[in-house]
């Protein structure tokens, strides 16, 4: 009950990559870089276990960015053809690579790191992949001509990848879909269908993470303009609840999401964001417990998984460690009273 987990990413140590950046540069190259990624993953697994996190991840220590880490191995993408794109409906503009032909996956992308991570821990292991819609919102299209068509093409590649990772012992495959909160109509029209394609036939647990973004300035400014009540989830939760995805990971701590919206996910396991992913301060266990208890008005503890609001990649390393400890301690406080 109140099984704890995290959204996925964790900060990279300073000896591995630039810190507190969304697109950091590696500090090393070649074999030395590979060994450093492994060491960083081992340390984060250890920190999660020591904190008391039940379902762990490798903290995404093997990739620079949650979308491009997958795309780097995909054929049909021209990385030299950079197109400026206003992603998440123009929240911020970045130079993105361009799809110039049919996409294909010549070999597994994350299998080696999954095998490595699986051997590091006996706890249930979660692995995150970018969702098809979010991929389409992070890459330019000069081939497919429509987002749904491109999403379905990527979904097929994600499905093959997910099957390979599940076969290597991953317990939970999570698709990260922050774009779901921005293109709510598209979610209903083709986003869920693309997720179903991506998760087709998987025997492991499937999850989708939908948040209001990393705690970076662009997102914080966007959130400031969303008004007193964030009701984006209300438009997509009914469709998600009817979907085949088993878990929904969302942002609750310190956000203006009315928790009553969790009542729309009555058939799902709900990963309740109980720590924020900004770098300023670590919540106390009591604060975490209060968020969990508030969510329990709408989600029974059997279906409630205390979690982080989002990935913690861009925040200071020690702050993230503190948040892991508070997250597990807060869940333990509530568990004791059940
Ligand atoms: Zn997120």
Token pair recorded at residue 121: 């821990």
Task: Note the pLDDT of residue 203.
Answer: 97
So what's the pLDDT on residue 221?
A: 82
Identify which has the larger pLDDT, 28 or 23: 28
pLDDT at 135: 96
How many A from CA of 312 to the centre of ligand 1? 9
The predicted-structure confidence for 115-138, as pLDDT tens digits, reads as follows 999 999 999 999 999 999 999 999
pLDDT score for 124: 98
Is 22 inside a domain boundary? no
pLDDT tens for 285-307 read 999 999 999 999 999 999 999 99
Calculate ∠ Cα 145-148-149, nearest 5°: 55
Residue 39 lies in a domain: yes
Confidence at residue 255, expressed as pLDDT on a 0 to 100 scale:
82
Whole-number Å distance, alpha carbon 179 to ligand 1 midpoint, is: 10
Q: Is residue 5 part of a domain?
A: no
Residue that is written with structure tokens 């964001």 in the block: 273
Question: Cα of 66 to ligand 1 centre, how many Å?
Answer: 10
Digit-coded pLDDT (tens) for 221-258: 887 888 888 888 888 999 999 999 999 999 999 888 89
Report the alpha-carbon distance of residue 18 to residue 314 in Å, rounded. Answer: 10
pLDDT one-digit tens code per residue, 148-179: 999 999 999 999 999 999 999 999 999 999 99
Has residue 213 got a pLDDT over 80?
no
- CA 114 to ligand 1 centroid distance, Å: 21
Answer yes or no: are the C-beta atoms of 312 and 11 closer than 8 Å.
Answer: yes
Q: Percent of the chain scored above 70 by pLDDT? A: 100
- Is residue 275 in a domain? yes
Per-residue pLDDT reduced to its tens digit, 44-55:
999 999 999 999
Tokens of 208: 């989708």
Do 15 and 318 meet the contact criterion of CB atoms below 8 Å apart? Answer: no
What's the confidence (pLDDT) of residue 98?
96
- Is the pLDDT at 31 greater than 80, yes or no? yes
Whether pLDDT at 145 is above 80: yes
**Domain for residue 137, yes or no?**
yes
Q: What is the spatial distance between Cα 333 and Cα 326, in angstroms, rounded to a whole number?
A: 10
pLDDT in tens, 3-18: 999 999 999 999 999 9
Long-range contacts from 39-44, C-beta under 8 angstroms, 24+ separation: 40/12, 40/13, 40/16, 41/113, 41/116, 41/117, 41/120, 42/120, 43/13, 44/10
- Using only C-alpha atoms, the chain has a radius of gyration, in whole angstroms, of 19
CA of 31 to the centre of ligand 1 (A): 30
- 182-197: buried (b, 16+ CB within 10 Å) or exposed (e) per residue? bbbebbeebbbbbbeb
**Ligand 1: centre distance to CA 9 (Å):** 9
Please give the distance, rounded to the nearest whole angstrom, from the Cα atom of residue 273 to the centre of ligand 1. 10
Residues 6+ away with beta carbon under 8 Å from 285: 326, 329, 330, 332, 333
pLDDT exceeds cutoff 90 at 331: yes
Per-residue pLDDT band for 270 (boundaries 50, 70, 90) equals: very high
Strand, helix or coil for residue 135: helix
Query: What does the pLDDT read at residue 199?
Result: 98
Expressed in angstroms and rounded, the spacing between residue 213 Cα and the centre of ligand 1 is: 5
* Ligand 1 mean position, distance from CA 178 (Å): 6
- Kindly report which listed range (28-32, 178-182, 241-245) carries the lowest average pLDDT score: 178-182
pLDDT given for residue 52 in this prediction: 98
Distance CA 269, CA 205 (A): 10
Percent of the chain at pLDDT > 90 equals 84
Whether 13 is in a domain gets the answer: no
Rounded mean pLDDT of 111-116?
98
pLDDT given at position 212: 81
What pLDDT does residue 91 have? Answer: 81
User: Is 286 a domain residue?
Assistant: yes
Give the SS3 label for residue 53.
coil
- 161 within some domain: yes
Distance CA 229, CA 338 (A): 30
CATH number for 305 = 3.20.20.210
Ligand 1 centroid to Cα of residue 242, in Å, is: 22
Residue 309 is encoded by which pair of tokens? 């609001």
Which alpha helices (DSSP H) does the chain contain, by range?
30-51, 68-71, 87-90, 111-118, 132-136, 147-167, 184-186, 192-199, 217-224, 232-241, 285-295, 317-336
**Cα–Cα distance for residue pair 286/114, rounded to 1 Å:** 34
**Structure confidence at residue 217 (pLDDT):** 80
For 17, phi then psi, to 5°, come to -155, 170
Q: Is the pLDDT reported for residue 111 higher than 80?
A: yes
What mean pLDDT value characterizes the chain? 95
CA distance 325 to 275: 11
| Number of domains the chain is built from | 1
Distance from residue 310's CA to the centre of ligand 1 (Å): 4
Q: For residue 224, what are the domain limits?
A: 30-336
For ligand 1, a single-atom ion, the residues with CB < 5 A are 211, 310
């Amino acid at each position: 009950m109140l099984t704890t987990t995290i959204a996925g990413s964790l900060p990279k140590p300073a000896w591995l990559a630039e810190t507190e950046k969304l697109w950091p540069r590696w500090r090393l190259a070649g074999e030395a870089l590979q060994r450093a990624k492994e060491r960083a993953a081992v340390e984060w697994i250890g920190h999660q276990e020591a904190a008391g996190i039940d379902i762990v991840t490798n903290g995404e220590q093997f990739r620079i960015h949650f979308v491009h880490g997958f795309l780097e191995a995909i054929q049909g993408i021209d990385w030299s053809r950079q197109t400026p794109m206003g992603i998440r409906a123009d929240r911020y503009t970045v130079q993105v690579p361009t799809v110039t032909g049919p996409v294909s996956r010549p070999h597994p992308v994350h299998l080696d790191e999954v095998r490595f991570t699986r051997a590091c821990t006996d706890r249930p292991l979660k692995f995150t992949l970018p969702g098809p819609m979010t991929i389409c919102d992070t890459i330019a299209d000069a081939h497919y001509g429509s987002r749904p068509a491109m999403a379905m093409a990527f979904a097929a590649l994600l499905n093959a990848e997910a099957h390979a990772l599940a076969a290597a012992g991953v317990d939970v495959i999570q698709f990260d879909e922050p774009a779901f909160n921005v293109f709510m109509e598209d979610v209903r029209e083709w986003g869920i269908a693309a997720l179903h394609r991506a998760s087709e036939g998987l025997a492991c647990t499937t999850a989708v993470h939908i948040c209001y973004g990393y705690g970076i300035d662009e997102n914080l400014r966007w959130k400031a303009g969303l008004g007193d009540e964030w009701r984006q989830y209300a438009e997509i939760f009914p469709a998600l609840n009817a979907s085949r995805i088993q878990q929904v990971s969302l942002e609750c701590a310190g956000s203006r999401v009315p928790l009553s919206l969790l009542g729309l996910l009555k058939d799902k396991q709900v990963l309740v964001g109980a720590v924020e992913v900004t770098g300023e301060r670590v919540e106390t266990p009591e604060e975490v417990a209060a968020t969990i208890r508030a969510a329990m008005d709408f989600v029974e503890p059997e279906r409630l998984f205390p979690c982080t609001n989002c990935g913690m990649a861009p925040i200071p390393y020690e702050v993230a460690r503190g948040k892991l400890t508070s997250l597990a301690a807060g869940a333990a406080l509530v568990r004791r009273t059940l």
